[in-house]
Amino acid sequence: MTASETDDRLSAQFAFLNEADRLKSVLRATTLVDGSRRENSGEHSWHLALYAMTLADQADPAVKIDRVIRMLLLHDLVEIDVGDVPIHSKGGTAHGSTDTQEAEAKAADRIFGLLPPDLAAEFRALWDEFEAAETPDALFAKSLDRVQPVMANLMSGGGTWVEYEVTSEQLDQRVGSKIAKGAPRLWDWVRAKTRAWFEP
């Protein structure tokens, strides 16, 4: 690679990294564990990657944790354009809507498109895999993405469950079933704690 090609490549790499900074300003419905403020999607992504490192033994043996970590680092970048869609909003229906999915795919085109083509393709493939939620790596990543806000709600006194008047059955349906797919023992353990919160 010539010096000028390296320069162009670095310009594209930093165009992406500087744009990614905006994820720190996207606010989620969930608060921090101490309830002091709403969490942003940048720090959420960090926490999830740390979840993957820490809870690796809860994954199926086929799961490659380093791929899960990379997936989780990228998974929310589309929210820079689309914002966070809270899982319990609109009676739990907004999250997987066709409108949301189309807007997110357009955002992925734009944001990963800032990168040099090889990296754009690599990152986009990881994001597509996460969204499709079919491979063992993606299923485990999805489980962690679902379990972290449950823990934040438990720690902070109910959080979005109170805000959106969520029932224990709705939590099982919208969240628990997805955690159980990628990390069944983890959901058993967490579910016992949510039961105690919903039926004290």
Would you tell me which residues interact with Ca ion (CB under 5 A)? 76, 145
Longest dimension (CA), the chain: 66
Backbone angles phi, psi at 183, to 5 degrees: -155, 70
Residue 36 binds which of Ca ion, a copy of itself, none (CB < 5-8 A, kind-dependent) = a copy of itself
Site mask for a copy of itself (CB under 8 A), range 67-86, x = bound: --xx--xx------------
Q: How far apart are CA 26 and CA 98, in angstroms?
A: 21
Q: Binding of a copy of itself at residue 53 (CB under 8 A)? A: yes
Looking at the DSSP assignment, which residues form a beta bridge with residue 31? 38
Helix (H, G, I), strand (E, B) or coil at 143: helix
Stretch that binds a copy of itself, among 46-54, 85-93, 128-136, 174-182 (CB under 8 A): 46-54
Residue of 7, 99, 128, 169 that binds a copy of itself (CB under 8 A)? 7
Q: Which two tokens stand for residue 141?
A: 């990543």
Residue of 28, 29, 49, 159 that binds a copy of itself (CB under 8 A)? 49
Q: Binding of a copy of itself at residue 117 (CB under 8 A)? A: no
Residues near 113 by beta carbon (within 8 Å), at least 6 away in sequence: 120
Residue of 27, 32, 94, 133 that binds a copy of itself (CB under 8 A)? 32
Helix (H, G, I), strand (E, B) or coil at 69: helix
